[in-house]
Amino acid sequence: MGMKIRPSDQACGATVTGVDLSKELGESLVTDIRQAWVEHGVLAFPDQSLRDDDLERFTAYFGDFGEDPFVQAIPGREHIIAIQRKADETSSIFAEAWHTDWSFQSNPPAGTCLYGITIPETGGDTLFANQHLALEEMPSSLRARIEGRYAIHSAAGGYAPEGLYGKADEGSGRSMRVIASEAARDCFLHPLIKEHPENGRESLFGCLGYIIGIAGMEHDAASDLLLELHQWQTGEQFQYRHKWSSNMLVMWDNRCVLHRASGGYEGYDRLLHRTTIGSQS
């Protein structure tokens, strides 16, 4: 049986069947998966029985591993982090705000792979927002205000000592291994509108959260614009709601989708293993 790609009926995302990711993949299959990844932004591969070695091998087909700066890798692995929450945990849901993974790096990662190990019976969906579409359908008056502008990205709001996962989070009982640090204060500029290096289509890149300002714009004006932009780019018409099952691998393209976690699974454990596909630009 060959690989089958079934697009979701939402703004992005597709389900891929007919491929066994626990086996080595040939070059033409990897090319087909890459093409589908770039086309749909999010690919879900259900019913995959993967060990950590398989997850790493699959990730490496698509580029070098990216660096995960503020989450400690799982024991014995350099490139895998655990997205984890215990049934009785009361800490805030990790990554519940819209974002593009590690957009605050000088060369942000191209993609992310997330493999579902323990999936709650209810809740815990991951939401994605198609940023090609959000830009294409953006009112020209809003686009004119961001055209040619550079956003200031920083991890401080999350990972600096006073950030969401910093001192205030100590003692919250979080089972994830988050490491807050002064390094989170570093800032990097990226254009708000970027050309996707693989399909040449323009996309919005990043959003308020990791974006903390706009170069050359006064703070309050930039905050107002970023808030307006955030409301637009995360609109329901651009979203895909991903429902997990265990043994499902999902890969997404950080260059053209935003994503966020969601809760609603109190009383259930949730565990996924995550790898990062490094920058390719």
- Nearest distance from residue 221's CB to ligand SIN, in Å? 29
Give yes or no for residue 261 binding ligand SIN (CB under 6 A). Answer: yes
- Nearest distance from residue 236's CB to ligand SIN, in Å? 18
Identity of the residue, 80 or 95, whose beta carbon is nearer to ligand SIN in the bound complex? 95
Identity of the residue, 174 or 274, whose beta carbon is nearer to ligand SIN in the bound complex? 274
- Nearest distance from residue 105's CB to ligand SIN, in Å? 15
Footprint of ligand SIN on 183-222 (CB under 6 A)? none
Give yes or no for residue 129 binding ligand SIN (CB under 6 A). Answer: no
- Nearest distance from residue 139's CB to ligand SIN, in Å? 29
- Nearest distance from residue 114's CB to ligand SIN, in Å? 6
Footprint of ligand SIN on 99-118 (CB under 6 A)? 114
Binding pattern to ligand SIN, positions 57-86, x when CB under 6 A? --------------------------x---
Distances (CA, A) of 151 to 175, 184, 194, 273: 32, 16, 11, 30
- The DSSP result for the chain, as a single string, is ---EEEE-SSSS-EEEES--TTS---HHHHHHHHHHHHHHSEEEE-S----HHHHHHHHHTTSSBPP--SBPPPTT-SS-EEEEE-TT--SPPTT-S-B-TTTTSSS--SEEEEEEEE--SS---EEEEEHHHHHHTS-HHHHHHHTT-EEEEESHHHHSTTSTTSGGGTTS---S-B---GGGG-EEEEESEEE-TTT--EEE---BTTEEEETTS-HHHHHHHHHHHHHHHT-GGGEEEEPP-TT-EEEEETTTEEEEE----TTS-EEEEEEEEPP--
Identity of the residue, 190 or 274, whose beta carbon is nearer to ligand SIN in the bound complex? 274
Give yes or no for residue 274 binding ligand SIN (CB under 6 A). Answer: yes
Distance (Å, whole) CA 17 – CA 15: 7
- Nearest distance from residue 12's CB to ligand SIN, in Å? 16
101 phi/psi in degrees, rounded to 5: -55, 130
Identity of the residue, 3 or 179, whose beta carbon is nearer to ligand SIN in the bound complex? 179
Identity of the residue, 214 or 253, whose beta carbon is nearer to ligand SIN in the bound complex? 253
Q: Which among 277, 272, 279, 276 is positioned nearest to 126, based on CA atoms? A: 272
Distance (Å, whole) CA 122 – CA 225: 36
Q: Binding residue for ligand SIN (CB under 6 A) from 95, 192, 249, 251? A: 95
Distance (Å, whole) CA 250 – CA 112: 8
Q: Binding residue for ligand SIN (CB under 6 A) from 103, 126, 239, 276? A: 126
- Nearest distance from residue 233's CB to ligand SIN, in Å? 17
- Nearest distance from residue 265's CB to ligand SIN, in Å? 10
Identity of the residue, 196 or 259, whose beta carbon is nearer to ligand SIN in the bound complex? 259
Footprint of ligand SIN on 157-186 (CB under 6 A)? none
Size of the site for ligand SIN (CB under 6 A): 7
Using CB under 6 A, list all residues that contact ligand SIN.
83, 95, 114, 126, 259, 261, 274
